[in-house]
Amino acid sequence: MSLMKNLSDKELERGIKDFLEAAPKTYLPGVSIDTVIFSFHNNKLKVLLLRLGDMPYFSLPGGFIKKEENLDDAALRTLQERTGLENIYLEQFYTSGNAIRFNENIVHEKLKTLVNLPDNNWLQQRFISVCYYALVDETKVNPQPGPFTSEFQWVDIKKVPTLLYDHNLIIQKALNRLAADLDQKLVGFNLMNETFTMGELQKLYEAVYQKKLVRTNFQRKMLSLNVLERLEKQYNGKAHKAPYLYRFMEAKCKC
């Protein structure tokens, strides 16, 4: 599902110029934020990727920290700006800081073709990037382009292409952390609808753990947690027993 914004080069140029003028007085230098935005839709775990212009690589959405803004607040703000959502589950998990970043020169070249930039402009400095992961409802996200975004795409976690910088590594670390948090903090329900079947929930866990689970044991485990409320059955017209719907009872959980 590609969300083409089809920003023209003219629009990109305008956005980048405005950004570059404001950035040095607005944002902390040398520190950026990258966010791995997860969703779970049609039984697939996905991440939101974006592209600058017609560049051959996607990258993670991110942003910068205002000079008087707390780090976590900046992560939430940039995420809200990009998704239009409130109340997002957000977790810091890693900070990336190699001196030379994969393909960064390609980005700089691309920027120069879009805008007439001097060498050593604000965007060309070295950045230490603080990484967060977010759990969102894909259907409620209305991606808003930032100054460097011409295209959004939700990509199946199993089909993520080679990305800019070390963003593939960052996604892998996010996924590892999400798997641990799924166990220990039950954060997975932030990715489910209000109601869901046990089979749907199992698909989420399988996508995060990247392995098949035994259906009957999964069901027993989930029910034993005592955080699921069983609702009416879901008659879906299929020629078999209808599954129950469940709701996650936040009150019973310690997260």
Query: Shortest gap between Cβ of 145 and a copy of itself (angstroms)?
Result: 26
List 17, 121, 243, 253, residue binding DNA (CB under 7 A): 243
**CA pair distance 95, 97, nearest whole angstrom:** 7
Cα angle for residues 172, 187, 203 (degrees, 5° grid) = 70
Q: Are 13 and 115 in contact (CB under 8 A)?
A: yes
The verdict on 92 binding a copy of itself (CB under 8 A) reads yes
Q: Determine the size of the site formed for a copy of itself (CB under 8 A).
A: 22
The verdict on 68 binding a copy of itself (CB under 8 A) reads yes
DSSP 8-state code for residue 252: G
Binding at 243: pick from DNA, a copy of itself, none (beta carbon under 5-8 Å per type): DNA
Query: Shortest gap between Cβ of 122 and a copy of itself (angstroms)?
Result: 13
| Residue of 130, 137, 151, 175 lying closest to 59 (CA atoms) | 151
Query: Shortest gap between Cβ of 156 and a copy of itself (angstroms)?
Result: 28
Pick the stretch among 22-30, 106-114, 162-170, 190-198 that binds a copy of itself (CB under 8 A): 22-30
**CA pair distance 251, 42, nearest whole angstrom:** 27
Strands (E) across 83-227 are located at 89-96, 128-135, 151-156, 195-196
The verdict on 86 binding a copy of itself (CB under 8 A) reads no
The verdict on 241 binding DNA (CB under 7 A) reads yes
The values of phi and psi at residue 113, to 5°, are -70, -25
Strands (E) across the chain are located at 2-4, 27-41, 44-51, 58-59, 62-66, 89-96, 128-135, 151-156, 195-196, 228-233, 244-248
Binding mask 160-199 for DNA (x = CB under 7 A): -------------------------------------xxx
**CA pair distance 225, 254, nearest whole angstrom:** 11
**CA pair distance 198, 202, nearest whole angstrom:** 6
Of 116 and 217, the one with the shorter C-beta distance to DNA is 217
Query: Shortest gap between Cβ of 165 and a copy of itself (angstroms)?
Result: 14
The verdict on 31 binding a copy of itself (CB under 8 A) reads yes
Contacts with DNA by CB under 7 A lie at: 197-199, 214-217, 219-221, 223-224, 233, 235-244
Contacts with a copy of itself by CB under 8 A lie at: 28-31, 65, 67-72, 74, 92, 94-99, 126, 128, 130
